[in-house]
Structure formats: C-alpha cells, structure tokens
Amino acid sequence: MYLIFTGCQWRFIPNDYSHWRTVYGYFGMWQKDGTWFRIHETLRSEARQKKGRNKHPTAGSMDLQSVKTTSVPSSRGELLEWVKRKFRYCLEVILHSDDIKGFVVLPKRWVLERTFAWLNNHRRLFKDYERFTRSSETMIQIALMRLMLRRLKPL
C-alpha cells in the first residue's frame, strides 16, 4: 500500500520493507494466484454488510472514457446487447440532454466521479505507470482495499 499511496518506484521502496525484488515478486505471485482479488472481495463484502447492504453489489457504473482500450463492441446498441448476453445485466444509458446548456448533474454520476477522486489521491494511480493492464487493475484493487480498511477500522 506504501507504493500506491506514495507513488514511488519499486526500486525505491524503503529499507524498512523487504528488498524491492522480494516485494515485487509477492505482488506478482499474489496477482497471478488471485490473492489480491480475494482480499478485495472479502473486504468489499464486509464493508457493504457493515453499512447494512447485501454483500454482493447490485448495480455498477461505467464511464466510456475509461474503457477506450478494451475490446467491447463499438456502438451503444451492440454494447447493451453484449453486456446482456455475456453478463445477464441490463444497462441503462444516461445521456446529456442537447436542450440544456452548462453543467447538469446526471443520476448516479457523482458516485463514479467520487470514486475517481478517491483513486487519484493515490499517487501511483494519478497516471498509469503500469506496463500491463492486469497490474493497473491490481493497483486499483489495492487502493480500494486501503479505503475499505479505513472504513472498517478507522484510525
């Protein structure tokens, strides 16, 4: 979590921790065997239950600007059908109105923007320094773990 919060490079991890290659090795090993994902899912379930919610999320949000590089269908109609077929979810598309000028609050958009703001407080995530998409995904999961741990057990 030090690496993500401070944004330092692997080689500059303080001497208080293990040698950077050891830390990087565990990062990769836990990434491959799904340890990071399992920890994230466990914390997410506990955090949701603490707030009185179902441990499994029932809604999601997607910002198309954040999925430019993925291999999902290109048109909105194709995307809606692809998600319905592949994941059995029904997407609701929320668009800006052409009639209204200026800033308009879109339903649930604030949740997505707030989450991006939380993630950008982690220097390692401010820019995408990771070489591999899977590493970026894991770094985001670890940052969210840090946030959930603080909610579950405040300092």
Place of tokens 């999925």: 67
Q: How far is CA 1 from the centre of its chain?
A: 15
* Comparison of pLDDT for 28 and 124, the residue scoring more: 28
The per-residue pLDDT for 32 is: 95
pLDDT tens-place string over residues 19-72: 999 999 999 999 999 999 999 999 999 999 999 998 988 777 766 555 444 455
Does the pLDDT at position 116 exceed 70? yes
* Conformation bin of residue 149: beta by default, left when phi > 0, alpha when psi is -120 to 50: alpha
Distance CA 18, CA 8 (A): 15
The per-residue pLDDT for 111 is: 79
pLDDT tens-place string over residues 4-16: 778 788 888 888 9
For the chain, the structural domain boundaries read 1-59+132-150
- Predicted structure pTM score: 0.70
